[in-house]
Structure 1
Amino acid sequence: MGSATETQAGAEAGDNPAEIHRALMARVAACRDREAFGALFLYFGPRVKSLMLKGGADHAQAEDIVQDVMMVVWRKVHLYAPDRGSVSAWIFTIARNARIDRLRRSASRPYQDIDDLELASEDSNGEDDAIANQRSRRVANAMEELPADQREIIDLAYIQDMSQSEIAAQLNVPLGTVKSRMRLAYAKLRDKLEEMQ
């Protein structure tokens, strides 16, 4: 999230977006690097949400799926195998599975399989790289601007690797409150991103 993380990941990866994502994943896997995860979250969160919206999810469902997907990425980062495919392929597979799981739970709704939707290319683009670097530098500040209760939920979920039900139990609040605070925090972070576009 800070420029040092992005710069180091870029230096390790030669400024190739796919390689930068691999370097960030390696840092999250090796030392639970919060800034590296934040950079991944801010890059993939809006893309996963967009894909879910194109697949027929409403905004609230799409945001919930993004939260679910990124929590899986945080918890299961050690399962990512670079030799089996790109970070984006792995994350979009998690997203596809999360979407299918949600649709199965509400089986009466028809859906369009996101396998049929076009994914964004990871080919390097100078303008995209500049925007990504600019976003990364502002993530830490955006996190600091979150209200304490929302920041605490994000910390418990992504830093302490707790599930939403575990967070609810620890904070002695309803599960719905945890989900609501996560949704609000994600919306505020998303708004910060949109300010940059």
Structure 2
Amino acid sequence: MVVVKYILLLTEILLLIFKILHCIFNDVYRLIRPTKEKSVANEIVLITGAGHGIGKELAIGYASLGATVICWDINEETNNETMNDIKKKRKDSVYAYRCNVADREEVFRVAKKVKEEVGDVTILINNAGIVFIKSFLNQSPDEIARVIDVNVTAHYWATFLPSMIEKNHGHIVSVSSLAALLSFPMGTIYCPSKSAVQGNSFLIE
């Protein structure tokens, strides 16, 4: 039994090393033979969790590149701040909608409103995510459900995917984390949720 455990551990370590080396070689190859940058001007980009952090920076970045940016966040105040910060840079093609991505019906309702008021989303960035830094035994059932609903289940409400397929044009980007590969003791729910994000992304491809 002990031997089996060591074999499994060794297998996981080797798999991790392989993944790291694959990423390194892939990045080196791209440095040697860089891919042509694609313009996002006039694309309609929807970013979840745009009220702060990575989501906010992505929204500002895409707006600066000429894209129409749609900000989604459960926090209406910070979401509007992101929109206003973009408008201060003289980029007016930006919209903000309050949306709880963990609520399927709300996602469908707000998505319909976006389609009517802005148009078909061509780039969807699933960025919204939450984490509770607690050990496994200290996680409440509600906290576990909340992390899974926001970090994982929300990615399945890909209501913009059909129009992308119909037009043969569009991209879905799901923000994961190094935590998907390297777990930490206080990330007992967060780490598996980010692994699920990676798995779901591969399946959509």
TM-score when normalising by structure 2: 0.21
Greater relative contact order (CA < 8 Å, ≥ 6 in sequence): 1
| Higher share in helix | 1
| Structure with the largest fraction of strand | 2
